[in-house]
Amino acid sequence: MTEQARAVRLMIFDVDGVMTDGGLYYTDSGEELKAFHSLDGHGLKMLQGTGVKLAIITGRTSRLVEHRAANLGIDYLYQGAHDKLATFDELLKAAGVTAAECGYMGDDVVDLPVMRRVAFAASVPEAPQIVLDHSHYVPTRAGGHGAVREVCEIIMQAQGTYDAALAPFLR
């Protein structure tokens, strides 16, 4: 797993079930709500600070995901991606990287085509067994509850950038 994580120059995340708990919350007026964990957000910012680019590929379309991505400075955002592999191929061109330089974190079978192409694949503990079977790493925390942070830290540890990312907070 360390060797795979060391190769990551672009880390891609699904949203529902990975960056959130997977619940779909709606108000009476039909507005969608999602909860994002602040630990995940800081992990993403630390990882990005080490030079790893970040992307989101999600099958759903939501303005609040757009806001979250902008707030975190996510480099690439693809919503409404019903064919995640085709979107992944588009992302590779846009980012100027190869699949061997990418990581992907998903939680369901729709994520498998991309997970099977990247150097480093991660999932969440609640994912179906087939998804877990195709993961290089499964964090102990649940989706939307710090799982993304764990994956960011694993990548930084594998790349030898974790201590430097923490140094400003340990003065």
pLDDT score of 168 more than 90: yes
The pLDDT value recorded for residue 27 is: 93
Q: What is the mean pLDDT of residues 122-146?
A: 98
**pTM for this structure?**
0.97
Domain range annotation of the chain: 2-169
Q: Provide the terminal-to-terminal Cα distance of the chain, rounded to the nearest Å.
A: 31
Ramachandran quadrant class, 104 (left: phi over 0; alpha: psi -120 to 50; beta: rest): beta
Tell me the CATH number for domain 2-169: 3.40.50.1000
The pLDDT value recorded for residue 82 is: 94
pLDDT digits (tens, 9 = 90+) for 17-53: 999 999 999 999 999 999 999 999 999 999 999 999 9
Q: Does residue 163 have a known ligand-binding role?
A: no
Q: Does residue 16 have a known ligand-binding role?
A: yes
Cα–Cα distance between 142 and 39 in angstroms, integer? 12
Mean pLDDT estimate for the chain: 97
> In this structure, what DSSP letter does residue 60 have?
S
Q: Does residue 40 have a known ligand-binding role?
A: no
The pLDDT value recorded for residue 1 is: 76
Contact of 79 with 58, CB cutoff 8 Å: yes
